[in-house]
Amino acid sequence: MSNIGQIHRSEYEITDPKSPVSCAEAPGRIHFLGEEGQPQSTFFLSAAIDRYIRLAVSQRKDNSFRFFASDLGERKRSTVANIKYRREDRWANYIKTAIFVFIDLGYPVKGLNFTFSGDIPQHIGLASSVAIETAAATALKHLLRINISETELAKRLFQTHISLFGKEVPLVDYQVSLLAKKDQFLVLDCSSEGISCEIKRVSSPFSKYKFLLVDSRAFRAGTEKELASRRADSLKGLKYLTKNHDGTAFKDFAPNDLLEALGNFPEQIRRRTMHIVEEIRRVNDAVSALERNDVPAFAKTIFHSHESLRDLYEISCPEVDWLVKRAQEIEGAAGSRMTGLGFGGCTYAIIRKELAEEFKKRLEEYERIFGFQPVIYEVKTATGARIIPERKKVKA
């Protein structure tokens, strides 16, 4: 990626090398399991990936805010007195989320310049917008010398995003973006109120494997409506469960509780509910397998999860199923599954390094069958948001 500090200095004509520019990066993320559960109250198995948003910020002498997306060549602006969500500001609204966090905490935020760029693949569920927010907050925290923990910052960003955009984004996305570590999975147990997550770290046993993200490029339409329908069905299922059992969230119930209550469930609600309850069990099974370094057991759990997304929650599609099947055919694959909102989008595959090219070769038939090519990204697990040094300009 480009030198974000030098791009920033050039954009805002900062010629004094002593003028402070704070640079930060924040990673994208993958949810390996748990993404389709009860909003803000479920288990996730997640990791950050080595695709980033990199952002630079410096102070101005006036009360203006300037925003520059260097990859897009786009600029936005606002003022301290008039800063608010504006639909036409698009990506700049995510930077505003970070600004509002520190304004709400009472810090004297004045004029600022921002520049960002990134290489997180877009529109396939890798949390690039959260990465913009956490990169901006990390850079601002450093520039303004603000003392706030990553855990508290994640909570503040989550709450501010809801206030600014009027819709929720999972708290876990902020936790992963800020707290992840290289070569680790995060197990996130979210409270029913959606305002806290207990985090457990599990070492990755996949040093001899590659993580491959495959963008199916399948056309998606009506995704929000379909997902809303499934969430409504799931909440009805939870209501059936809580009638005769103690508990307020899906994670309070075991699959046996669901089997006992099946007589009260309409078929569609039964399928949606079964997926969520069993997915919680699968997270626990996957964590146990990781702790034992039992790769075959982990792979079995991941493949079963995708089958459940396909057959019970019904948010997969032929293109995505085809991609997962090709991974499943590779001896030594440690799992493949859809990730993201569904109805297209992205899969991940964990493939032994020496077999990765064989897997890619098997995808060559995809274009003949579906009429377009998938896009493959190799990624590694990564550490969360951090301050990065401003690289000095190399003299010719």
What span, in angstroms and rounded, lies between the C-alpha atoms of 31 and 358?
A: 25
* Domain map (residue ranges) of the chain: 4-182+382-387, 209-379
Beta partners for 357? none
Question: pLDDT over 70 for what percent of the chain?
Answer: 93
Question: Taking the domain 4-182+382-387, which CATH number applies?
Answer: 3.30.230.10
- Specify the pLDDT at position 197: 81
- Specify the pLDDT at position 395: 45
What's the pLDDT tens digit per position in 40-88? 567 899 999 999 999 999 999 999 999 999 999 999 999 998 899 999 9
Q: Which residues are catalytic?
A: 173
Beta strands in 7-149 (DSSP E): 22-33, 43-59, 64-69, 74-79, 112-118
Tell me which fold the domain 209-379 belongs to: Alpha-Beta Plaits (3.30.70)
If you average pLDDT over residues 282-295, what whole number do you get? 96
- Specify the pLDDT at position 196: 72
**Token pair recorded at residue 150:** 């990553």
User: Are the beta carbons of 109 and 144 closer than 8 angstroms?
Assistant: yes
What's the pLDDT tens digit per position in 51-60? 999 999 999 9
- More reliable by pLDDT, 255 or 351: 351
Which residues lie below 8 Å from residue 67, measured CB to CB, with a gap of 6+?
75, 76, 77, 78, 89, 91, 92, 95, 114
- More reliable by pLDDT, 350 or 393: 350
| Res 22 pLDDT > 50 | yes
- Specify the pLDDT at position 47: 98
- Specify the pLDDT at position 193: 57
